[in-house]
Structure 1
Amino acid sequence: MRTVTANDVVAEGRVIRVGMIDDHRSPIWGIERVLDPVDDISLACSASTVAGVLAGMPLDVVLLDLRLDDGTTPRENVNTLSAAGVATVVYTSGEHPALLRSAARAGALGVVLKSAEESVIIDAIRAAAKGRAVLTTEWAAAIDGDPELAAVDLSPQLQKVLALYASGETSSRVGAALGVSAETVNEYLKRIRQKYADAGRPTRTKVDLFKRAVEDGWLPVPQRHRSRGASDRRQ
């Protein structure tokens, strides 16, 4: 049986089923209000995690907040949604261009700011349901605005090494976790450093490696140590 795509949904005139991933209820209530009078789009489900929203499948488009309390990265969240056949639109305040770049590299179709007009949100969902890029100035700025953040392609094994080592583990502990020797881990680290050097993004120290891992979505952005007020944690 042929898989039904987002293009099929729009071509057949069926309602676009939208999922929303956000840690807070207020943005979800806002999207509910925006979509309630729209005949061809329905907010089918919402959750605070990717796994939670995928439980509401089938879905055509997901609005994804960049920073979630479960510690996941935009890259892995977009990858998971893409593997499930769901188009992803980042829905954010736009304060973290590095995270937007990470989501873009993983295959997100675009970004919509939480301050955007209702018509912009609706048009973005319709475009994503057709598999089209959601072209906004914020998206273009995030992707093209910083030439020093050239993409670095790492194999799955190198991704694991970078994430573990940059998080504070020693070469020995990384090797034990991955079932390789410390010497092998050090060789992997040399490859990682060389790839970043070739991209013009040197990693001379362990702190540099941590920064690169966050910039490229291999590690989540550290949470601010603030009170849990809605205004100062909203992304």
Structure 2
Amino acid sequence: MGDEVMTGGPARPSSGRAVRVALLDDHEVLLDSVSSWLREHAPDLDVVLRATSWLELVHSPAFPTDLVLLDVQPQEPVSLGARIRSCRAAGAVVVVLTGLDDPELRRRALEAGAAAFLSKSRPILDLVAAVREVLGGAPQQEWRPLPAEALRRPRLSLGEESALRLYASGLSTADVAAEMHVQFETAKTYLRRVREKYARVDRPASRRSELIQRALEDGYLQ
């Protein structure tokens, strides 16, 4: 199933200020990566609140925000629909970002008032474009899109892609090897090749933080 975006929801602030954004996800790596990427590449979307649980979100003095990017988090004691309705009642636009491709979940989220139901596997440029569409678009002078050549995507083998997904999700190289049922040196080689391929397209990935950024930009984080 594809992503779904609804129009006609609350518009972005009309004052020209950046949209105040809250991120709710139990994946710390994803929170860090999305926040860092938006700060550098999308100044019209200002992350003022990051939370790993529903209670942390609603108890924050920064809540409510203009926009809430909300993970499904099925383990939460409060249902997805209730969380969406609460955010909407507080005046926030809600966009659901999820790795779960469930038509029933999508239906319930949109019926509860979510403006969009988007897959985390999409490159972040696509996600940001969808968010801006929901918010009614951002004035051109408020953001600077990356040049196309900055996001040239290297061709990874299946093994390299799997290793990147696992490593970027927070696993150690040893854990990546265990998850892939390969030797440690094999997993290490996969990750080395990933770094080399990104370097060849002028997208540095020598440090772990850079590799996570590349995985985020190209839709490998779940």
Cα distance change, pair 74–109 in 1 and its aligned pair in 2 (3 A): same
84, 107, 132: which one aligns with 2:90: 84
Instruction: Indicate the residue corresponding to 2:76 in structure 1.
Output: 70
Matches within 5 A, 1:95-134: 95-130=101-136
Matched, 1:26 2:29: yes
Aligned residue for 1:18, secondary structure, equals strand
Matched, 1:52 2:66: no
Matches within 5 A, 1:1-235: 7=11, 9=13, 11-37=14-40, 38-54=42-58, 55=60, 56-130=62-136
1:99 deviation in Å? 1.4
| Distance across 1 between alignment mates of 2:84 and 2:64 | 16
| Distance across 2 between alignment mates of 1:71 and 1:40 | 33
* Uncovered stretches (5+) of structure 1, i.e. residues with no partner: 132-228
Over alpha carbons, which structure has the higher Rg?
A: 1
1:13 deviation in Å? 1.4
Aligned residue for 2:65, secondary structure, equals coil
Contact 1:36 1:42 in 2 (8 A): yes
| Distance across 1 between alignment mates of 2:46 and 2:95 | 15
Contact 2:28 2:52 in 1 (8 A): no
TM-score (norm 2): 0.52
Contact 2:12 2:135 in 1 (8 A): no
**Which amino acid in 2 is paired with 1:97?**
P
Contact 1:18 1:43 in 2 (8 A): yes
| Distance across 2 between alignment mates of 1:45 and 1:125 | 17
Contact 1:19 1:62 in 2 (8 A): yes
1:53 deviation in Å? 1.9
* Uncovered stretches (5+) of structure 2, i.e. residues with no partner: 1-8, 138-169, 180-220
1:75 deviation in Å? 0.7
1:86 deviation in Å? 0.5
Aligned residue for 2:50, secondary structure, equals strand
Contact 1:16 1:40 in 2 (8 A): yes
Cα distance change, pair 8–120 in 1 and its aligned pair in 2 (3 A): closer
| Distance across 1 between alignment mates of 2:52 and 2:10 | 23
Task: Count the aligned residue pairs.
Answer: 132
Segment drifting more, 65-74 vs 113-122:
65-74
| Distance across 1 between alignment mates of 2:101 and 2:130 | 19
| Distance across 1 between alignment mates of 2:106 and 2:88 | 16
Aligned residue for 1:52, secondary structure, equals helix
**RMSD of aligned Cα (Å):** 2.8
| Distance across 1 between alignment mates of 2:74 and 2:27 | 10
